[in-house]
Amino acid sequence: MLSGKVALVTGASRGIGAAVARKLASQGAAVAVIYCGNTEAANAVVEEITATYGVNAKAYQCDVASLEQCSQVAKQVSSELGAIDILVNNAGVTRDNLLALMSEDEFDKVIDTNLKGAFNMTKACVRGFIKKKQGRIINISSVSGLSGIAGQSNYSASKAGVIGLTKAVAKELASKNVTCNAIAPGFIETDMTKGLDAESFVKAIPLSRLGKPEDIASLAAFLASDSASYITGEVIRVDGGLAM
Ligand code: NAP
């Protein structure tokens, strides 16, 4: 159980992040619901989890690509909800294109949000973890960062970068009792995958179904729990066997 813990989840207005926020709240954690543009959806998540689980929760707008905004929000969360114990770097975007056609903007947007965003929010939270002598960092990578996917050179690079970041941070902070792990989802049913050819993916998935946001949330809650205190620097696929 996570009673008394404070969690900051980026990209928690929708999809996987919203499911992670719900799951952590269901185990008693106070949750900072970080979002970028979707104020209504973020407030709805906050209302739902406070009404359902009776925990403290609040929505905070922050573009994770900005270190300044991440630092400000981390400070605000610490003073309003309490010192942060659990950071879930989940915010992410895609701008798929073949490399020959990919614009510099498409490449930069994905790297700035997915990779630099995880660096920024981790940097914003790390002093608090060191001071508290405890912390859990959970980064959402992707099977795209493990195997590479055609049309996703920007996204695959960002998610492979998140894995490198995870391992370096895990080594740096282990002596401070801070763990850092990555989850690599496969094809999960969210806004991000709407419009993709789900049927062709299902054929390649040994468990013969798409993933649900809750499949990722369960593992995030485990990695945040005391039961996972001896796991760090690990990358765990939750993909129905897709990238095996
Ligand atoms: P989603 O439904 O598209 O939601 C994306 C979330 O990220 C939203 O809450 C959005 O906030 C937030 N966000 C986007 N840009 C941001 C920024 N600059 N600053 C702060 N927040 C930002 O995506 P999802 O499918 O749940 O994906 C969540 C994570 O899992 C991503 O890192 C994604 O790469 C990864 N992943 C997803 C899949 C999949 O199949 N869905 C597979 C592998 C990995 P607003 O709502 O305010 O815009």
Which pLDDT does position 189 carry in this prediction? 97
Compute how many other C-beta atoms are within 10 angstroms of the C-beta atom of residue 105.
9
Tell me the pLDDT tens digit for each residue of 195-209. Answer: 998 999 899 999 999
Three-state DSSP at 87 gives strand
Tell me the pLDDT tens digit for each residue of 101-122. Answer: 999 999 999 999 999 999 999 9
Ligand 1 binding residues, C-beta < 6 A: 10-11, 13-17, 35-38, 41, 62-65, 90-93, 113-114, 140, 142, 185, 187-188, 190-193
The verdict on whether 35 is a catalytic residue reads: no
- Summary mean pLDDT of the chain: 98
Which pLDDT does position 154 carry in this prediction? 98
Which of 63, 93, 235 maximizes ligand 1 atoms within 8 Å of its Cβ, making it the mutation to test the pocket?
Answer: 93
Alpha-carbon separation of residue 135 from 70, 75, 119, 188 (angstroms) = 17, 16, 15, 27
d(CA 77, ligand 1 centre) in Å: 20
Considering the chain, what percentage of its residues have pLDDT values greater than 70? 100
Which pLDDT does position 180 carry in this prediction? 99
Query: Rounded to two decimals, what is the model's pTM?
Result: 0.99
> Whose CA is closest to 99, among 110, 114, 113, 91?
110
pLDDT-based confidence at 9, cuts 50/70/90?
very high
> Checking DSSP bridges between strand 135-140 and strand 86-89, what pairing results, if any?
parallel
Tell me the pLDDT tens digit for each residue of 52-77. Answer: 999 999 999 999 999 999 999 999 99
pLDDT-based confidence at 6, cuts 50/70/90?
very high
Which pLDDT does position 29 carry in this prediction? 98
Q: Phi and psi at residue 218, in whole multiples of 5°? A: -60, -45
Q: Residue 139 carries which side chain, given as an amino acid letter?
A: N
d(CA 12, ligand 1 centre) in Å: 8
Three-state DSSP at 86 gives strand
Kindly give, in sequence order, each residue whose CB lies less than 8 Å from that of residue 78, ignoring residues fewer than 6 positions away. 6, 84, 128
What's the CA gap between 171 and 162, in Å, rounded? 14
Which pLDDT does position 215 carry in this prediction? 98
Which pLDDT does position 202 carry in this prediction? 96
Tell me the pLDDT tens digit for each residue of 36-55. Answer: 999 999 999 999 999 999 99
Is residue 162 within 8 Å of residue 127, measured between CB atoms?
A: no
